[in-house]
Amino acid sequence: MRRETLTHRIIGRRTGWLVLLLGVLLVGALSSGAGAMRISNDPTTGLPAGSQSARVARLQRRLPGGETLPALVVFAREPGQLTAADRAAIAAAARRMATVAERGPVIGPILSRDGRAALLSVPLLASDTSTRLLHAVRRLRHLAGAGLPHGLRAQVTGAAAFEADIANSFSGADVSLLLVTVLVVAVLLIVTYRSPLLFVVPLAVVGMADGATTALVTLLSRHTSLPISQATTGIVTVIVFGAGTDYALLLISRYRQELLTRADHRDALEHALRAVAPAILASAGTVILSLLSLLLANLRQTAAIGACAAVGIAVVALFGLLVLPAALSIVGRRAFWPAVPRAAGPDAAERALERSVWARAGRLVQRRSRSVVLGSAVVLGVLAVGLTSTRLGLSQTQQFRVKAPSVTGLATLGRHFPAGASDPVVVVAPARLASRAVALTRATPGVASPRRVASAGGLAEINASLRANPDTPASFRAIRALRARLRGVRGLVGGTVATNLDVNQTANRDLTVIVPVILAVVLVILVALLRSLLAPVLLTASVVASYLAALGAGTVISRLVLGYPGIDNQVPLLSFLFLVALGIDYNIFLITRAREETFARHSTPAGVLRALAATGGVITSAGILLAAVFAALSVIPVIVLTEVGIIVGVGVLLDTLLVRTATIPALAVILGERFWWPAAPARRTASPPTRRTASPPTRTPVP
């Protein structure tokens, strides 16, 4: 009697339905019990507790008005001076907006020196959710613009408006991102398998995994201190759909190969699942450990992305190895309609493999291996030259891909008021040293108009303006100089510009610390998987090279083609993580197959080329799909996500179409058996496959 195995139970006639039902029930239970997600867009919550801007934000809550976030309403008549009717309308608008103000009165109107603009400051609750803050700012914009004389314009800007506009950028974006991602995956699956039915099964299973992941991320947001933002959830959705569809492609591709040699579809599916499971588990394990290395980041938003994405990979790998096979076993061969694969024997499958475009590509690589390696190095090197034009750091006004109302309002404010009026520097010092702190602030180059605005509990708050525009090198120099001067009076410097400076410095530190950790994780897993040293080093180096090329190309595209002012500080680390962790996947799928072929019966060059012929189609499809899914991040009009999508998309295409297809096979051909050093596969002379008539070919546990 046949021994029941786990894979056999997963795809059994009755147990398959049970596994599918349990998957549906799990998603339903998690979704119903998770509650509402707690979203955090405050940058200070993601900074290390010891950073000055984070300490100032905490101390401000103990001061009067410390829980407020100002919305600045600027009224301007351009060109021309404000008229008496304008001033009356502004005063009336101030009275209307007092109904929206919280924890304090409306301050102003303050007239500009040129007489063309007036400014109001409306306090809003800083502790409000992004949704409530967005509604409050929308209400202010409506009230400010009502009944104004012809030619007088009102705009709402300031910290509250910026946060509201960020929230508005993501309003409905999760649905749009999901729809675009699903559409991209569906189209590519239909093109890959030429079936109008098959795409529904993997897409539904990955959708279930995404639902379970969203519920688990919601629980993390409610029961941990991780600051989870809309950007985090968007990135996690893309990763789940990209990785989940890759796993599905690998399983279905091997399943289709098995259907060509086996009459029973469940038997074919069981052999396919046994073959691909080790590679999928190794791939998922690599990605999960790499993502968890982000927990070492001092920037807590980065740590949150790592934790949430690791949960997503674990969930989608589980669904890919359990629920997807169960669903495929229920549907059977008819899922491939109209090109239903029929059992034609191992010889037919072998001939199809030899005639494939990837077998021809492998033979070309074998003939010109040294030229291929040299050409790949030239291509990657040329693209990496773009790194010389990389400008790191985006200001608050440069976060949006479209002109947000807060950005245009800030531009108007800057034409009529001091450059730093919208983003005051916040100094918190001991109350007994407040006068000295004011004097030191006034004496600091680049800082103007310090004034004491609040005192309580032995603390004093001092506000000042920067002479330079916010988030410029000059404004950052002024913050550093002010911090140095106030050290003697135990003064701390915060505010928006100081927060952005701390974010930039923390992101740079995280990049230098976490990149070596990710490389070490990937290298150790490859060494353990391949039981060699040279091959893992070459694979890791190749992915790093494709990353540098992608970052250079992405910089050129972002700055010269799309006109973006620079690369956000978080982009290099996130792009590196996704490209190395996800890019190494394709090398794992190729090289594990090559190792089995080599150590079983072929020389290293022959084994690698056979692996390329067997895995080329599915891995290329997976790479193109992953690049397209990351490109879907561009539906959110925030530059950081668009830049991540561009760089990862370019890197995945380079890794899939150049490095994995040409460079690695060419290196294996050149090095021969040394490729596996210190392992020593038995030397064999590659020979044409013999015809098999009685038994099916030996199956290897790789895709």
**Amino acid occupying residue 301:** Q
Q: Which residues contact 437 (CB under 8 A, 6 or more apart)?
A: 427, 429, 460, 462, 486, 489, 491
- Sheet with strand 107-111: strands edge to edge: 107-111, 117-125, 68-77, 152-157
Supply the DSSP symbol for 690.
Answer: P
As a whole number of angstroms, the distance between CA 359 and CA 669 comes to: 14
Residue 485: predicted pLDDT:
92
Q: Residue 690: its pLDDT value, please?
A: 41
Helix intervals (H) in 260-299: 265-292
Token pair 């976030």: residue: 69
pLDDT for the residue 548: 92
> Going by CATH, does the domain composed of 67-168 fall within 3.40.50.300?
no
Would you state the pLDDT for residue 172?
63
pLDDT of residue 265: 86
Structure tokens at 63: 């001061």
Distance CA 540, CA 531 (A): 15
**Range 143-169 average pLDDT:** 85
pLDDT tens sequence across 207-218:
999 999 999 999
Give the whole-angstrom CA distance, residue 426 versus residue 498.
9
CA distance 25 to 33: 12
Which value, to the nearest 10 degrees, does the dihedral of the CA atoms of residues 379, 665, 188, 570 take?
-50
The CA-based angle 299-304-309, given to 5 degrees, is 135
Condensed to tens digits (0 to 9), the pLDDT of residues 533-587 reads: 998 899 888 888 989 999 999 888 888 888 787 788 888 888 888 887 777 777 7
**Are both 1-34+170-344 and 356-405+515-686+696-703 of the same fold?**
yes
DSSP letter string over 86-126? HHHHHHHHHHHHTTT--SSPPEEEEE-TTSSEEEEEEEEET
User: DSSP 3-state assignment of 333?
Assistant: helix
Q: How much is the mean pLDDT over the chain? A: 82
User: What pLDDT digit, counting tens, does each position of 288-337 carry?
Assistant: 998 999 898 888 888 888 999 999 999 999 999 999 999 999 988 888 88
Task: Give the pLDDT of residue 699.
Answer: 38
Sheet holding 447-456, edge to edge: 447-456, 459-466, 425-430, 492-494
What mean pLDDT is predicted for residues 407-430?
82
Considering the four listed CATH numbers 3.40.1500.10, 1.20.1640.10, 3.40.50.620, 3.40.50.1980, the one that applies to the domain covering 1-34+170-344 is 1.20.1640.10
Q: Secondary structure of 560-576 in the HEC alphabet?
A: HHCCCCCECCCHHHHHH
SS3 content of the chain, % helix, strand, coil (to 5): 65, 10, 25
pLDDT of residue 692: 40
Q: Is 456 helix (H, G, I), strand (E, B) or coil?
A: strand
334 CB neighbour count, 10 Å cutoff? 12
Could you count the other beta carbons within 10 Å of the beta carbon of residue 31? 14
What's residue 353's pLDDT?
64
Picking from 431, 434, 430, 433, the residue whose alpha carbon sits closest to that of residue 450 is 434
Whether 39 shows a pLDDT value over 80: the answer reads no
Dihedral (CA of 398, 401, 406, 412) sign: positive
**pLDDT tier at 700 (50, 70, 90 boundaries)?**
very low
Categorize the per-residue pLDDT at 16 as very low, low, confident or very high, splitting at 50, 70 and 90: confident
Alpha helices (runs of H) in 156-229, residue ranges in sequence order = 159-169, 173-193, 200-223
Q: In this predicted structure, which of 58-72, 579-593, 646-660, 686-700 has the lowest mean pLDDT?
A: 686-700
CA distance 217 to 174: 14
What six digits make up the tokens of 318?
């589980």
CA 285 – CA 281 distance, rounded (Å): 6
Helix H or strand E encompassing 485: helix 473-486
* Residue carrying structure tokens 């508005």: 168
- pLDDT at residue 36 is higher than 90: no
**Most distant CA atoms of the chain, gap in Å:** 100
Q: What tens digit of pLDDT does each residue of 226-278 get?
A: 888 877 888 888 888 888 888 888 888 888 888 888 878 888 888 888 888 88
Pull the structure tokens for residue 56: 């100032």
Annotation: CATH topology of 356-405+515-686+696-703: Multidrug efflux transporter AcrB transmembrane fold (1.20.1640)
What is the pLDDT averaged over residues 465-470? 82
Identity of the highest mean pLDDT range in 167-176, 344-353, 416-425, 589-598:
589-598
- Would you put residue 127 in left (φ > 0), alpha (ψ -120 to 50) or beta? alpha
Provide the percentage of residues in the chain whose pLDDT is more than 90: 17
Measure Cα distances from 504 to 58, 77, 501 in Å: 20, 37, 5
Q: Collapsing DSSP states into helix, strand and coil, what is residue 55? A: helix
Total residues found in the chain within this entry:
703
Beta strands 447-456 and 492-494 are unpaired
Answer whether 482's CB lies under 8 Å from 447's CB: yes
- Among 18-27, 46-55, 339-348, 353-362, the minimum mean pLDDT is found in 339-348
Q: What percent of the chain stands above pLDDT 70?
A: 89
pLDDT in tens, 603-656: 888 888 888 887 787 788 878 878 888 887 777 777 888 888 889 889 888 888
CA neighbor of 161 nearest in space, from 138, 128, 129: 138
More confident residue, 138 or 358: 138
Domain boundaries, the chain: 1-34+170-344, 67-168, 356-405+515-686+696-703, 413-501
> Is 69 in contact with 159 (CB distance < 8 Å)?
yes
SS3 181: helix
Query: Which residues is 236 bridged to in the sheet?
Result: none
Architecture of the domain whose range is 413-501: 2-Layer Sandwich (3.30)
Confirm if 341 and 588 have CB atoms less than 8 A apart.
no
| Residue 486: closest CA among 460, 453, 457 | 460
DSSP label at 687?
-
Cα 244 to Cα 680: distance, rounded to the nearest angstrom: 35
Contact 458/430 with Cβ under 8 angstroms? yes
